[in-house]
Amino acid sequence: MADVEDQPSNIWPQAVLHLDMDAFFVNVHLLHHPEDVGLPLAVGGQPDHRGVIASASYEARQFGIHSAMPSKSALRLCPHLKIVGSNWSDIRDSSRKVMDILKEYGSIERMSVDEAYVDLSDASDPTLLAKEIRRRVKDETTLPASIGLAASKLVAKVASDFDKPEGSTIVHPGEEAAFLAPQPVRVISGIGPKTAGRLIKIGIKSCGQLANSDLGALQVLFGRHAENMQNRARGIDIRRVSSDRGQRKSISHERTFSQDVNEPEELKSHLQKMAGSISNSLKKRKMVAHTIRLKIRWADFTTFTRQMSREIGTDDELQIYETALIILERNWGGKQKIRLLGLGVSGLESPIVRQKGFGF
DNA sequence: TCTGGGGTCCTAGGACCC
DNA sequence: TCTGGGGTCCTAGGACCC
């Protein structure tokens, strides 16, 4: 989209900036390992541990390597690819610096370590601020980022992804539908591979086609979601930037083993570790959980979950562990090889809320 | 060829209650 | 012979996101 400087600022009913760091994990690594600059590099799990790529350098992307790809496949595409693990303390440090800059400009909604929305509605010229923000992030963290500015979150997000890396895309109010029209439906957040596949079957590939398609035909496939989907393809999205992300709903850990496991003691020790760390997270948040859920993936990748709820919430490691063990024993014959074991809790509640019910 | 980990939200069926 | 109708909670699975 053309970046028009002399638009009057009052044309922005709402101004939303979306900032998306470029190859964030890789670039944070390079900050601390300048010797790796220029290499085909990826951050992710090791190939012999069934790892996947979390982030790939632009050099690695030349070989077709992308995130979520199994590290083994990545190495086949590029045998001299260097794969390093994520350094979470460095990643969180850099993330905090970026978010601190954003907060100076308006209320922010943090979506992950490397992505956030900023509400620039109160600015007299949001387009000027958008550029300033990207420059400051680069100057003060030396990390590249892309930004999108639009009148809605939906369009701002598509815009930030439009011209990566180090892109800066502004979609002025009224230009939303035209901006989206030529792009594939997959750019719309919420339309994943399944939905896109179903749309292709009725001949819809681009946002423009979705926007102009027959609503009735769409309703046959998607029911009451059809109208909303079509609106989104037109760039209509009334969600506001909201810094309050609300309470956590669940806490979970899971572990894919480097080799499938059917040793009871090994499985139990993993459950115990996961129960311990979940218990710690609950205590740190001063919460208790009512539901405990076990996830099992067999060697053939079939995956299922089984859960148990209890009347009284708990944050106790032993109670979580013992419940998990009961579920495991009910669902595992003792011979089948297990590829992944996961443990999670939900039905979270802060005990203080419960006490209020006693009439104090 | 091999498929991570941490989340959210939605749907659908069954149990249970009034 | 025909088998209400809501509402809520629980369980399981699936789509999707980063």
A3 pLDDT above the threshold of 60: no
Residues A102, A133 contacting (CB under 8 angstroms):
yes
Element (H, E) at A20: strand A16-21
Q: Is the CB of A339 under 7 A from strand C?
A: no
The total number of residues shown for chain A amounts to 360
* Residue A115 appears among annotated catalytic residues: yes
Cα–Cα dist A316/A328, whole Å: 18
Give the model's pLDDT for residue A4: 52
A270 pLDDT above the threshold of 70: yes
Cα–Cα dist A220/A150, whole Å: 32
Tell me the mean pLDDT in the region A33-47.
96
Give the model's pLDDT for residue A261: 97
Residues A1, A159 contacting (CB under 8 angstroms):
yes
Q: Is the CB of A88 under 7 A from strand C?
A: no
Read off the pLDDT of residues A203-216 as tens digits, 9 standing for 90 and up.
Answer: 999 999 999 999 99
**Which nucleotide has its C1' atom closest to residue A112's CA?**
C18
Assign A318 to helix, strand or coil. Answer: helix
Read off the pLDDT of residues A232-267 as tens digits, 9 standing for 90 and up.
Answer: 999 999 999 999 888 899 999 999 999 999 999 999
Residue type present at position A348: L
pLDDT top residue among A357 and A61: A61
**Which nucleotide has its C1' atom closest to residue A309's CA?**
C10
Q: Which nucleotides of strand C come closer than 7 angstroms to any CB of the protein?
A: 10-18
**Residue A217 CA to nucleotide B5 C1', Å?**
38
A128 pLDDT above the threshold of 70: yes
Query: Percent of chain A at pLDDT above 70?
Result: 95
Read off the pLDDT of residues A162-198 as tens digits, 9 standing for 90 and up.
Answer: 999 999 999 999 999 999 999 999 999 999 999 999 9
Tell me the mean pLDDT in the region A281-301.
96
DSSP symbols for A30-62: HHH-GGGTTS-EEEE--GGGT-BEEEE-HHHHT
**Residue A265 CA to nucleotide B15 C1', Å?**
36
DSSP state of A152: S
Residues A335, A261 contacting (CB under 8 angstroms):
no
Q: Which nucleotides of strand B come closer than 7 angstroms to any CB of the protein?
A: 1-9, 11
Tell me the mean pLDDT in the region A219-232.
92
Give the model's pLDDT for residue A5: 54
* A49: nearest Cα among A259, A352, A292: A259
Read off the pLDDT of residues A10-24 as tens digits, 9 standing for 90 and up.
Answer: 689 999 999 999 999
* A96: nearest Cα among A114, A109, A120: A114
A358 pLDDT above the threshold of 50: no
**Which nucleotide has its C1' atom closest to residue A258's CA?**
B4
Residues A148, A126 contacting (CB under 8 angstroms):
no
Give A294's contacts (C-beta < 8 A, 6+ positions apart). A305, A306, A307, A324, A327, A328, A331, A341, A342, A343
Q: Tell me which of A35, A59, A109, A115 is the catalytic residue.
A: A115
Quick one: which residue's CA is nearest to C9's C1'?
A309
Q: How far is CA A6 from CA A45, A125, A137, A152, A232, in A?
A: 48, 10, 24, 21, 28
**Residue A340 CA to nucleotide C3 C1', Å?**
45
* A114: nearest Cα among A128, A93, A136, A83: A93
Per-residue pLDDT band at A8 (split at 50, 70, 90): low
Chain-wide mean pLDDT for chain A?
Answer: 93
Tell me the mean pLDDT in the region A218-223.
91
Per-residue pLDDT band at A357 (split at 50, 70, 90): very low
Q: Is the CB of A331 under 7 A from strand C?
A: no
Give the model's pLDDT for residue A11: 82
Give A5's contacts (C-beta < 8 A, 6+ positions apart). A127
Give the model's pLDDT for residue A354: 47
Q: Is the CB of A326 under 7 A from strand C?
A: no
A1 CB-contact burial (10 Å; exposed 0-12 / middle 13-18 / buried 19+) = middle
